[in-house]
Structure 1
Amino acid sequence: MKKLYRSETNSMLAGVCGGLGDYFGVDATLIRLGWVLISLMGPGLIAYIIAAIIVPKESEVI
C-alpha cells in the first residue's frame, strides 16, 4: 500500500515534490518543473504551502 509523505532525503524546500515523485514513481525533478509551471499560472504556491502543512514527514509515516 502506497502512502503519501514529504520526503526527507529528496527535498529542496519541504519535501512535497520528492514525496509526490516517490508516490507516483516519477522523477521529483519533473514534479518540481510542473509545480513551477502551475505556480506561474495560478495558486501553486498556496497549494504547496498547504501540502507542506498537511502531508506528514517520511519518518512519521514509515
Structure 2
Amino acid sequence: MKKKLYKSTQDRKLSGVLGGLSEVWNIDASLLRIIFIVLTLLMVGVPMIIVYVAAALILPDDKDVWE
C-alpha cells in the first residue's frame, strides 16, 4: 500500500506539513522539525520557507484524505 502525503491534524505545530512528512517517512516529527530549522538557517531560509508554504497550501489535511 502506498502512503499518501498529507498535512497531519494530529501532529501539528504550524500547518502540519512536517507532521505529515514524519508519518510518511516513519521518523520522529521533532527530529524532522529540528532538521528543517537547521536547513532553513543554513540556506538563509527563503528556499525552505517557500517550499513549506507551498506544501501547506497544496497538501490536503489527513481528515480530507480519509473521507
Q: Same fold (TM over 0.5)?
A: yes
Partner deviation per Cα, 1:14-54 (whole Å, 9 max, x = no partner): 00010000000000011111111121122211111011011
Question: 1:25 maps to which residue?
Answer: 26
Q: Which has the larger radius of gyration?
A: 2
| Identity over aligned pairs, percent | 39
| Uncovered stretches (5+) of structure 2, i.e. residues with no partner | none
| Uncovered stretches (5+) of structure 1, i.e. residues with no partner | none
The alignment partner of 1:10 has SS state of coil
How far apart in 1 are the matches of 2:50 and 2:24?
A: 21
TM-score by length of 1: 0.91
How far apart in 2 are the matches of 1:34 and 1:47?
A: 15
TM-score by length of 2: 0.85
How far apart in 2 are the matches of 1:19 and 1:4?
A: 6
* RMSD, aligned α-carbons: 0.9
How far apart in 1 are the matches of 2:58 and 2:32?
A: 18
Q: How many residue pairs get matched? A: 62
